[in-house]
Amino acid sequence: GAGVSQTPSNKVTEKGKYVELRCDPISGHTALYWYRQSLGQGPEFLIYFQGTGAADDSGLPNDRFFAVRPEGSVSTLKIQRTERGDSAVYLCASSLKGVLGTDTQYFGPGTRLTVL
């Protein structure tokens, strides 16, 4: 596809359940990023992949959050034992190389997660 895609666009779950959020980056982009945006706030960094490996996971809030990118393309963000405080829009972005701090990151439309 032409842009970053994310599925599902909306996810409603109950407290304590497990969820997976998927991101398809722009073809050929080696760097992939996950951010979380709460209402009225700017996006906050969660994790950054360079190829298949997590180059920086310092933004993951706790060990309930985990992300993978096994083949260096599609990525899945996994949240275990969801809590109401996890409710937010989860954004995925990709960039061509993700080096030198000058690449443009292209964002997907986001997945709105609501934990009841």
Partner 1 sequence: GNSVTQMEGPVTLSEEAFLTINCTYTATGYPSLFWYVQYPGEGLQLLLKATKADDKGSNKGFEATYRKETTSFHLEKGSVQVSDSAVYFCALIMQGGSEKLVFGKGMKLTVNP
Contacting positions for partner 1 (CB under 8 A):
31, 33, 35, 40-45, 48, 50, 55-56, 58-59, 91, 93, 95, 98-110
Minimum distance, C-beta of residue 47 to partner 1, in the bound complex (Å)? 9
58 CA to centre of own chain: 13
Provide, for the chain, the percentages of residues in helix, strand and coil under a 3-state DSSP scheme, each rounded to the nearest 5.
5, 45, 50
Closer residue to partner 1 (CB): 54 or 82: 54
Closer residue to partner 1 (CB): 79 or 93: 93
Element housing 47 (H / E): strand 44-50
Minimum distance, C-beta of residue 46 to partner 1, in the bound complex (Å)? 9
Closer residue to partner 1 (CB): 20 or 59: 59
Closer residue to partner 1 (CB): 79 or 89: 89
Residue (of 13, 60, 37) closest to 109 by Cα position? 37
Minimum distance, C-beta of residue 45 to partner 1, in the bound complex (Å)? 4
If DSSP codes are grouped into helix, strand and coil, which group holds residue 72? Answer: coil
The Cα–Cα gap between 21 and 113 comes to 9
